[in-house]
A and B are shown apart, each in its own frame.
Chain A
């Protein structure tokens, strides 16, 4: 990284891609859509955070986690707990038998706020918790699994089991978590009404800004020595280990990073959609997020964003017109992506479009040799 400077961090092609995405998200979408549709796009973009984490974990590191919904959910629930506490101040809840606690606790005969809800009165704590809680959780899972060299398929199954456990736990502990309905009826953030159209516009732009921060962070990881090591580990783990690297630490780091991204996505989801429920935690949403990443291209950061937007757009339009066809289409998509285009949209772009763009770029300037890098040529 340091030996090439900015040019190697963001080569011209990537720069162009980032700029195009920025124009699409910041100019074209807000100008061409009403607030309802824009809010929907914002919701999809929160899944893109997860897909981004999966590109690093799965595409680069070769670690397939089927439990990213756990981290998405943890981040989302942290945010929702803060918003719920603000929405259930003593005046708003004075008809309850215990005013000042969230309504679902009152329905479940709880008479005081459980201890783990207490710190969520503070916004600062909440914002820290959104990132730190899922990261610590991911760290523990990572240490337990990767230090013992559990990987691949076993890791996928165990993360999937964790997603199932968390869902059952949230649904079962209705009094503490809101049960199957989740935490609903969220109104204000420090007195600012998040349900107004104006707030939705602002939240959309905040969401896009944070997404770009995460994209830049992911790009940094991808281009740094760590990114190279991840690819090397994915291909020949033993050789990296014999070269003197502690493989498990790199895996733990990238898994935690993916978890943190997902958690940010979850928090932004809660803010934009106004509720959080266990249906975004379990096995099905976790696997769906993997398919967003796979459709976009498991090796492409921008591909993950486009893949998420495209699959979700298809899902919404399909479910509106032919709900019974959606599952068939989704299943077909899984199979087609795996069998026919393992590198997703980004792979198709690389084979068919990228050579032309290169030519065009080269024609724009005085011809100069293209810098190709064998390790990165597939991305």
Chain B
């Protein structure tokens, strides 16, 4: 066993999950700025200390519009040319192992549900759940590579099974060695955002 695989990549707080929108042509990054400001004003992300909104609509394929919180970033980004909502933990690990991954899913799904129901967006934003992106932005604990992914695969699979109630169809490395670790996940099911949230709420009970 090499040193990288011995390291607990999932002890990093920097876990991320991205859900992609179903119709990228409807995306207008600038209209998301007032939406995220309202989230802050109305405390819609109850367990986050939401600080500010960073707007990068002028940067192609960038972080888009990012809601900066004390322990997370919620970015409606366009990385690699694909629009979606990305939750990324920051600073403080929220749970460990499988629970940390499920927690990241819960948070991104909550954000996606808010966007789907956002009155100002009039239902333009819908999220697919069948293909998602999982990542760890921590080059020290989780360097991008097959070895790291292999080491965390069993825990990731267990978490995906808990979220989707079905085993994942595929998990593949989606990042180069100089990038943060990213895995493209094809889930075993593609329920609605609300259905997944309901399921996770039931599991939590």
Partners in one complex: no
